[in-house]
């Protein structure tokens, strides 16, 4: 296996496994025959899963998420040419909204807006060091004021290790963060969110994928989120298609507004365009 092909497969398994799978063949289709670098991404690409699900316990609510990332500099441009460490700098944006479909006027209960800047790297190695690494700054707020205002600013680091288990990809990716600042209305958020998320993702691009997120606050406040997806059509292109999507959440912080309120299992089903 050539060095370029090895780096490509590592890129497919790791980067796309953490935030949406694609097979090696699908990634190859995106590489032209003009000598383009293997594994090269377009400047604007998928970041986290994008879905719309409906259900819940009590009122019927929809939860949906949009997410993209943008590679700010090109390899040989005016800035990144002489400063190569900037070639892997991204701007990311994720929005998650909770929409009550049963109350009068069907209000949006809360939305979380997460812009951030981060570096993203992959390695072609079999040692104990991470195969994938993302680190940077992230802001999260719900865009409200007064007593309903919630916001945090964090620095984070997210390594990932990938394994093959029973002919499927297993990715283990802890995301660790420290708080730079927060709103007065959520000064105790670490009691419920803690300082790390554990993300485990298992499956393969041509079939089902299960992702588990576990979070534990300083006051033993536990939260779980399970996401299961299954293709229901051929992919439109590498990481985009139509997927049956099931999401189950239990614990604290279903939205940023209720970061300190506990919810029993909320189960919702719907569609995803990226998983």
Alpha carbon distance 115, 241 (integer Å): 25
Show the domain range for 73. 3-274
**CATH no. for residue 144?**
2.40.230.10
Average pLDDT (219-225) is 96
Alpha-carbon Rg for the chain in angstroms:
19
Backbone region of residue 136 per phi and psi (left: phi > 0; alpha: psi in -120 to 50; beta: other values): left
- Count of other CB atoms within 10 angstroms of residue 121: 14
Q: Mean pLDDT score of the chain, rounded to an integer?
A: 85
Domain count, the chain: 1
The predicted-structure confidence for 111-140, as pLDDT tens digits, reads as follows 999 999 999 998 866 777 889 999 999 999
- Does pLDDT of 267 surpass 90? yes
Asked if 200 and 171 count as a contact pair (C-beta separation under 8 A), the reply is yes
The number of CA neighbours under 13 Å toward the Cβ of 148 is 9
Work out the pLDDT band at 5, boundaries 50, 70, 90.
very low
- Does pLDDT of 46 surpass 50? yes
Which of 255, 240, 249, 215 lies closest to 96, judged by CA?
Answer: 255
The per-residue pLDDT for 125 is: 66
Average pLDDT (230-248) is 89
Work out the pLDDT band at 41, boundaries 50, 70, 90.
low
Compute the 3-state secondary structure of the chain and give helix, strand, coil in percent, each to the nearest 5: 15, 50, 35
Counting every residue, how long is the chain? 275
Say which residue the tokens 């995106």 belong to.
30
The predicted-structure confidence for 177-218, as pLDDT tens digits, reads as follows 999 999 999 999 999 999 999 999 999 888 999 999 999 999
Q: Taking the model in full, what pTM does it have?
A: 0.83
């Amino acid at each position: 296996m050539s060095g370029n092909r090895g780096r490509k497969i590592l890129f497919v398994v790791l980067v796309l496994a953490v935030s949406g799978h694609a097979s090696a063949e699908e990634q190859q289709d995106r590489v032209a025959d003009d000598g383009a670098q293997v594994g090269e991404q377009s400047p604007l690409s998928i970041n986290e899963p994008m879905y719309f699900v409906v259900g819940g316990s009590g009122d019927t609510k929809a939860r949906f998420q949009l997410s993209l990332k943008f590679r700010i500099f090109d390899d040989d441009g005016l800035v990144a040419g002489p400063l190569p460490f900037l070639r892997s700098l991204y701007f990311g944006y994720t929005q998650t909204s909770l929409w009550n479909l049963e109350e009068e006027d069907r209000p949006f209960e809360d939305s979380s807006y997460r812009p951030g800047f981060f570096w993203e790297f992959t390695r072609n190695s079999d040692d104990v060091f991470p195969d994938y690494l993302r680190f940077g700054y992230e802001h999260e707020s719900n865009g409200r004021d007064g007593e309903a205002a919630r916001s945090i600013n964090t620095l984070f680091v997210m390594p990932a290790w990938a394994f093959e288990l029973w002919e499927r990809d297993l990715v283990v990716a802890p995301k660790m963060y420290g708080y730079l600042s927060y709103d007065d209305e959520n000064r105790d958020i670490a009691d419920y969110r803690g300082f790390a998320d554990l993300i485990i993702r298992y499956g393969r691009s041509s079939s089902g994928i299960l992702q588990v997120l576990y979070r534990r606050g300083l006051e033993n406040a536990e939260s779980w989120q399970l996401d299961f997806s299954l293709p229901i059509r051929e992919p439109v292109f590498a990481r985009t298609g139509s997927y049956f999507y099931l999401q189950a959440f239990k614990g604290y912080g279903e939205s940023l507004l209720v970061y300190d309120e506990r919810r029993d299992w909320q189960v919702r089903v719907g569609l995803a365009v990226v998983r």
